[in-house]
């Protein structure tokens, strides 16, 4: 059974209530229940934190034993060299995910410090971006 960890960064605990015109009306917990049902043969772990160090620690904790990491680092995507280094420090492949199409948004969202450390990037498909990342990690793409 493949083990994949979904890691969400700052402000993503507010999904469903935060800027619903950009991020939708659904909570992540609600979406995750459905995602887990779609992949009964995959162990989908979930971790969210608003703190950069906690995200780094989680990457260290799962990155040596899990088969993959799906990382939506939120705004730390655009600021964090430390997250880049954490992804590179562990053998598990990471997929960078964004709900919104960051390239259609403000200029400061166009640069990612973590893309170069990741296996690939999926953005702009709403919450379905996470499912597409699962597909990429289980090799059915």
Active-site annotation holds for 66: no
Tell me which of 66, 76, 84, 98 is the catalytic residue: 98
Q: Which residues bind ligand DQA (CB under 6 A)?
A: 11, 72, 74-75, 77, 98-100, 102, 109
SS3 string of the chain?
A: CEEEEEEECCCHHHCCCCCHHHHCCCCHHHHHHHHHHHCCCEEEEEEECCCHHHHHHHHHHHCCCCCEEEEECHHHHHCCHHHHHHHHHCCCCEEEEECCCHHHCCHHHCCCCCHHHCCEEEECCCCHHHHHHHHHHHCCC
Measured from the CB atom, the residue of 53 and 65 that comes closer to ligand DQA is: 53
Minimum distance from residue 72 beta carbon to ligand DQA (Å):
5
Measured from the CB atom, the residue of 72 and 80 that comes closer to ligand DQA is: 72
Active-site annotation holds for 84: no
Measured from the CB atom, the residue of 75 and 89 that comes closer to ligand DQA is: 75
Catalytic residues: 23, 98
């Amino acid at each position: 059974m493949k083990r994949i960890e979904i890691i969400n960064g700052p402000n993503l605990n507010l999904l469903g209530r935060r800027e619903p015109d950009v991020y939708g009306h659904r909570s992540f917990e609600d979406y995750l229940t459905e995602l887990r049902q779609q992949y009964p043969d995959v162990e989908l772990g979930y971790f969210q934190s608003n703190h950069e160090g906690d995200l780094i620690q989680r990457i260290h904790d799962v990155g040596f034993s899990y088969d993959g990491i799906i990382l939506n680092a939120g705004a730390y995507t655009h600021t964090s060299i430390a997250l880049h280094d954490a992804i590179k420090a562990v053998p598990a492949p990471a997929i960078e995910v964004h709900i919104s199409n960051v390239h259609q948004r403000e200029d400061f969202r166009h640069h990612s410090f973590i893309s170069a450390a990741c296996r690939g990037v999926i953005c702009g498909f709403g919450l379905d971006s996470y499912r597409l990342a699962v597909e990429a990690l289980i090799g059915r793409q």
